[in-house]
Amino acid sequence: MTSELLIDTDACYRQMEEKAHAYFETLSEQLREKTYINQLTNDIHLWKKNHVHSFPSLFFNRKRERYSRDYHRYIKYLHHTGKLENYLYRSISYIYMRDLGKALDSTKTQNRIQKSVNQLKNHLVNSLTETKMESYNLAGLFRWSQNEGVESSFIWLTDKLKTVRDQIPEGLNSDEAQRKLIKIIVGVVMHVLEEMDDEISPKDKSVRLDEAIRLGYSYGLTYPFIDDLLDSNILSPNEKIRYTNLIRSALTTGVVPDLDDWSGENKEFIQFVHAELRDAFEYIKSHQRLETTEVFYKDSYVFFQSQEVDRNKSMENQKLTNEEIYIPVILKSAASRLIVRSIISAPEDEGFESRTFYYGLYNQLADDFADMFEDEKTGSVTPYTYYLKYYRTRGDLINPFELYWTVISFLIHEVYQSDPKTCEVILNRAINGLKRFKRKWGTQKYEEIMGILTSEIQSFNGLIQKMVKKADDVDFFDKLLRDHMINHFRKERKEREDFIEMTRSIREKINNCLQLKSHKQVFLSNDHILDAVNYSLGDGGKRLRPIITWMMAVHCYHMDEADIFPLLRSLEYLHTASLIFDDLPSQDNASLRRGKQTLHEVYNVATAELSGLFLTQKAVEEQTTLQRFNSEKVLEMIHYSSGVITDMCRGQAMDLEEKDKISLEQLNKMCFYKTGIGFEASLIMPAILAGVDEEEKKALKKFAYHTGIAFQVKDDLLDHQGNTISLGKPTNLDVKNNKSTFVTVLGKEEAKRAMWEHYCLGLDALQEIPGNKAFLKHFLSYVVNRDN
């Protein structure tokens, strides 16, 4: 059955093509006549008065250069030199032009820019005192979501971003995909905030922000899962055709076709992408107003089709015309931003649409210039890569670098009516782009490419290069933040991979040293108990507690690995003993643990009880063999350990005594004794042996408290949504036993909020712990993001 077309695809695309042709012809004429040179020469001479300074500033430029790649140091440098406000002003002004399509000569816009500058400056200055805090972290975003009343949106988005990150295959840049997706979400949120009245109620604002976050994610998915995916070599040629037809059908009929029988190695990935994009498309559709629906479909189709036309250009085609090169670029660069307003169902704004349409090409040419060498390697056809390949044999080809400056002149003088603020921002951006390119690729390569691109405008280029060499105060916060985010994602990915590999390696070492052997010092009537104990200690456990201890002891306190194995065994013996008791019929009456039958099911209750007692005393015995450490510290640690055992018993007793629904305070206390105290012991016992001070122990205990409760909340959430196979234990057991959990006490959504609250408090505590905390940070992240 064929769905009815909602739009005349040929007509809407042709209409936009005609507009793009008219724009391109105007630019081409100005380029041929070189009228842009005189205009921009005058503009640059006026502009340089604020940017080219005397010799003493060279010292500060060198210092700026050293700091410019370090987010924190650079913000501190700008603040201390009094340059931060101007830096933020030009940065936010640019965002208002590029992303929001605003004209800078508007008093209302200027007031909004200044308000944003003040807010961002206060945030950055306050963060300078928090020297140990990261500028980009989930805790900070969660706190923002709390202030705005959109915690549920934050939690939903966090889960979505994690899923997308985990699904992005090799062949796509995961870091860049995450950055683009977040950038789109922020852009949509900015548009929605800009459309809000100042008098909007907090409740209505929260509703609008919730929609904006979800709409931003829904639109942002198109970048990794349509644009980047079709640009890559992940799909076969036939798969690309089929996938493209699916998307085109959805955009022209409003109905996402079924995937049907997709086969091959990409099957699971495509099934995931199809489901996510279908849900995203349906969400956007559901938030369209009747009067904006057609605009949404038209903008979406033009965006998609122009990308397809641009993508299908071949570098081997020696006869591409200038129109074939540039018209799709004009269309896709304009449509990518025009579509945002139709997605949020914003009212028609002729000024926005006009400015955004003309502005897109400027932004795209700047991006293509920055990426030209990477694009050359991948064989991508852009105005720059095609020109560089054929300029010697194709005298008719328009030079993209000259066109870039023509667009700048057109924007300043015809679109923005020679507004001084606009001229200042655009020239700042242009010179900054050249500076960044030169710094990235080196002077020699930069001068070689400039020699090719400016051979017909040498005098004008001489002026530009003087500005590139001498001008300062042209950098932008969004570029600093972009670089910082990419570095952050790379660092996070590397640390996450190291964390996974480290835990795997340590777990293997621990597994190899846990099994008990019969010998004359073990006073048991037979090996029946040993068999039972070793059954419980068998593979399947996460070994989180001894892993934490290993990391603290070896990495943080520089202890010898061989010296701490008794402590590692001790912690796992204690934990396993607690699980044996927890599973007994008199307590949770569980039949499955770590993916296999519980001990009392395999043997009997008496054997299970004796095994738990044996492991408890064996744990203490292991602690007494720590001979390479100060004896007083070992005694102190054993004393602390006995208190841990007492608290674990207290927690289990509280669990048994619970009859009716308990308070959150009681639940927190019980869960800390049952779960958190084990994490605390994993941190405190090596800390005692290392002789750390009380302040550090206090911080470690605080971290363990919040990590333990976050762990238990996540356990309850996993138990609630239930998958016995992945969890390795029965689901909904506490509910069946009429016991309180964070889900039953708070509800599912509030339980998620509680988990993230403890995550944030755990991160706060982490800042008080000296030394390298990467492992603990990723452990805390694992706690809230795990699937079992």
Residue of higher predicted confidence among 256 and 62: 256
**pLDDT exceeds cutoff 60 at 709:** yes
Query: How is residue 427 written in tokens?
Result: 């020239």
Q: Which band of pLDDT confidence, cut at 50, 70 and 90, is reported for residue 131?
A: very low
What value does the mean pLDDT of the chain take?
89
Using the 8-state DSSP alphabet, how is residue 399 labeled?
A: P
Q: What is the dihedral of CA 518, 519, 522, 527, to 10 degrees?
A: 30
pLDDT in tens, 428-474: 999 999 999 999 999 999 999 999 999 999 999 999 999 999 998 99
Q: Which band of pLDDT confidence, cut at 50, 70 and 90, is reported for residue 3?
A: low
Q: Which band of pLDDT confidence, cut at 50, 70 and 90, is reported for residue 623?
A: very high
Q: Which band of pLDDT confidence, cut at 50, 70 and 90, is reported for residue 734?
A: low
Query: How is residue 86 written in tokens?
Result: 């101007």
Using the 8-state DSSP alphabet, how is residue 593 labeled?
A: E
Pick the closest to residue 751 from 709, 781, 713 (CA basis).
713
Which range, of 114-118, 446-450, 665-669, 738-742, averages the lowest pLDDT? 738-742
At residue 592, the 3 state secondary structure works out as strand
Pick the closest to residue 713 from 673, 686, 744, 683 (CA basis).
744
Q: Are 676 and 645 in contact (CB under 8 A)?
A: no
What is the average pLDDT across 624-641? Answer: 94
How big is the CA angle at 408 (ends 61 and 82), to the nearest 5 degrees? 30
Residue of higher predicted confidence among 556 and 401: 401
Residue of higher predicted confidence among 540 and 306: 306
**pLDDT exceeds cutoff 90 at 321:** yes
pLDDT in tens, 583-611: 888 887 788 887 788 888 888 999 989 99
pLDDT in tens, 199-243: 899 999 999 999 999 999 999 999 999 999 999 999 999 999 999
Q: Which band of pLDDT confidence, cut at 50, 70 and 90, is reported for residue 732?
A: low
Distance separating alpha carbons of residues 265 and 274, to the nearest angstrom? 15
Percent of the chain past pLDDT 70, that is, above it, reads: 93
**pLDDT exceeds cutoff 60 at 195:** yes
CB atoms within 10 A of CB 766: 21
**pLDDT exceeds cutoff 70 at 5:** no
The predicted structure's pLDDT at residue 521 = 54
**Domains plus CATH for the chain?**
490-785 (1.10.600.10)
Which range, of 43-52, 90-99, 136-145, 323-332, averages the lowest pLDDT? 136-145
User: What pTM did the predictor assign?
Assistant: 0.86
The predicted structure's pLDDT at residue 703 = 95
At residue 478, the 3 state secondary structure works out as helix
What is the average pLDDT across 366-383? Answer: 95
Q: Which band of pLDDT confidence, cut at 50, 70 and 90, is reported for residue 696?
A: very high
**pLDDT exceeds cutoff 50 at 551:** yes
Q: Are 224 and 176 in contact (CB under 8 A)?
A: no
